[in-house]
Amino acid sequence: AQKITQTQPGMFVQEKEAVTLDCTYDTSDQSYGLFWYKQPSSGEMIFLIYQGSYDEQNATEGRYSLNFQKARKSANLVISASQLGDSAMYFCAMRDFMDSNYQLIWGAGTKLIIKP
């Protein structure tokens, strides 16, 4: 069965340091996508970054990058030069492209707190 594991329930990081949020996934399929979302304390779910299983390069979006290691089935989110506004819950999710229901499998999330 497909599964997403986020092993860090919470993290404290000093402002301006880089942050790595862990995500490992389990699937037997070859074609899938990995997503990261941010949920600040205000509650909305914000899409951050996407990585396809066939993408050869790691995805980047501004200060966000995805460290994709396919053989290890990991898709860690890296936030460079963290800011106070990065404090939030972060969710990793996976979609199997053979699933015609377009369903996302979600991790339990990591609560990131940036310290000034």
Partner 1 sequence: DTAVSQTPKYLVTQMGNDKSIKCEQNLGHDTMYWYKQDSKKFLKIMFSYNNKELIINETVPNRFSPKSPDKAHLNLHINSLELGDSAVYFCASSQARVSAGTQYFGPGTRLTVL
| C-beta neighbour count of 104 within 10 angstroms | 14
Are 80 and 65 in contact, with CB atoms under 8 Å apart?
Answer: yes
Does residue 91 interact with partner 1 by CB under 8 A?
Answer: yes
Of these, 19, 95, 112, 114, which contacts partner 1 (CB under 8 A)?
Answer: 95
Does residue 11 interact with partner 1 by CB under 8 A?
Answer: no
Nearest to partner 1 of 14, 60 (CB atom): 60
Give, for 45, the enclosing helix (H) or strand (E). Answer: none
From 22-30, 38-46, 61-69, 70-78, span contacting partner 1 (CB under 8 A): 38-46
Pairwise CA distance, residues 107 & 92, whole Å: 5
Pairwise CA distance, residues 85 & 82, whole Å: 8
Amino acid in the structure at residue 1: A
Are 61 and 37 in contact, with CB atoms under 8 Å apart?
Answer: no
CB of 16 to partner 1, least distance (A): 26
Of these, 52, 58, 64, 78, which contacts partner 1 (CB under 8 A)?
Answer: 52
3-state class (DSSP) for residue 23: coil
CB of 83 to partner 1, least distance (A): 22
User: Rule CB under 8 A: which residues touch partner 1?
Assistant: 33, 35, 37, 39, 43-47, 50, 52, 89, 91, 95, 97, 100-104, 106, 108-109, 111
